[in-house]
Structure 1
Amino acid sequence: MARYFEDTDVGDVYELDGRYDVTKAEVKEFAENYDPQPFHLDEAAAEDSIFGSLAASGWHTASMCMRLLVDDFLEPETSMGARGVDELRWIQPVYPGDTLRVEVEILDKRISESRPEMGHIRTKLTGYNQHDDAVIEWKAKGMHRRREADE
């Protein structure tokens, strides 16, 4: 069922069902392509780093959480993109073998003044590992289709 602008209220928290299993191969592949720092690529170098072992890039962590958000929260018929992300924080490293999940909180919302078919929803996404430790957080400015504008 599509989630329109009107279907959310400030203060709502959505615990998404999806899970993302982090693999060593994917950590290394992402790092090779986008963040080739030694602690993301080389296990020996990672052991001598502050991480103590191979760790996922923060950008990779954000991408994995974005995948969960798209799969379980953003609907193709109602999501209209985003105007940006604020306050991105990498709270704790993510390692191969971790399993990620996501929660989304509605912080505020308003109807677009220039596009009545659209509403702006500011959310806080928090990503957690399998121990329920927060690993990432950001606030986003999403654009969502309004049901009432269609009626």
Structure 2
Amino acid sequence: MLHFEDLKVGEKFNTAEHTVTAEEIIAFGRQYDPQPFHTDAEAAKGTLFGQLVASGWHTAAVSMGLMVRGEMGLDGGVIGQGIEGLRWPRPVKPGDRLRVVMEVAGLEPHPVRAAFGQLRLSCRTLNQDGKAVQEMTANLLVARRPA
């Protein structure tokens, strides 16, 4: 498991892939974002997207799962403090294979909690063609190595 002291600005970490299915797009859409382009393949044909697409929030949830299980492996888990500039530059379609590339963008000691450091992590979720489907910068608390 990695601690704050193990990380270096510019260091990159990767995740495994996840293939998004039509069934999971529809299930997530029905529960959390019930718009026709997320819940009904036939109705989606008459929308801006012209087909079934995943909710951006579904993409964010898949990305989070990939990040937590990815090679970064932070001791104490991923403790979010906020997100900057979350964007979805292109839709996720059934059959897309997603992976996340994370880059350490900044490291600072926490001003109050001596047992933690602050990590700025640039995260890009890419599809099978290497095109970004989500981009964000996460601000995280990371455990420092015990004395």
With the length of structure 2 as denominator, give the TM-score of the two structures: 0.95
Is the 1:118–1:144 Cα contact (8 Å) retained in structure 2? yes
> Is residue 19 of structure 2 the alignment partner of residue 52 of structure 1?
no
Identity %: 38
What SS does structure 2 have at the residue aligned with 1:66? helix
Is the 1:112–1:120 Cα contact (8 Å) retained in structure 2? yes
* Counterpart amino acid of residue 105 in structure 1: E
* Counterpart amino acid of residue 84 in structure 1: G
> Is residue 91 of structure 2 the alignment partner of residue 88 of structure 1?
no
Is the 1:79–1:143 Cα contact (8 Å) retained in structure 2? no
Structure 2 unaligned regions, length at least 5: none
Mark the CA change 1:29 to 1:86 in structure 2 (over 3 Å): closer, same or farther: same
Deviation at 1:15, TM superposition (A): 2.5
Structure 1 unaligned regions, length at least 5: none
Task: Determine the structure 2 residue equivalent to 1:123.
Answer: 121
Is the 1:126–1:138 Cα contact (8 Å) retained in structure 2? yes
Task: Determine the structure 1 residue equivalent to 2:24.
Answer: 26
Task: Determine the structure 1 residue equivalent to 2:139.
Answer: 141
Task: Determine the structure 2 residue equivalent to 1:4.
Answer: 3
Task: Determine the structure 1 residue equivalent to 2:14.
Answer: 15
With the length of structure 1 as denominator, give the TM-score of the two structures: 0.92
Aligned with residue 65 of structure 1, among 59, 63, 81: 63
* Counterpart amino acid of residue 66 in structure 1: M
What SS does structure 1 have at the residue aligned with 2:136? strand
Alpha-carbon separation, structure 2, partners of 1:119 and 1:76: 12
Task: Determine the structure 2 residue equivalent to 1:75.
Answer: 73
> Is residue 131 of structure 2 the alignment partner of residue 106 of structure 1?
no
Deviation at 1:76, TM superposition (A): 6.2
Equivalent pairs, count: 147
Runs of 4 or more consecutive aligned structure 1 residues displaced over 4 Å after TM superposition: none
Q: Which whole-Å deviations, capped at 9, do the CAs of 1:92-123 have from their partners, x for residues lacking one?
A: 00011111000001111101121111000001
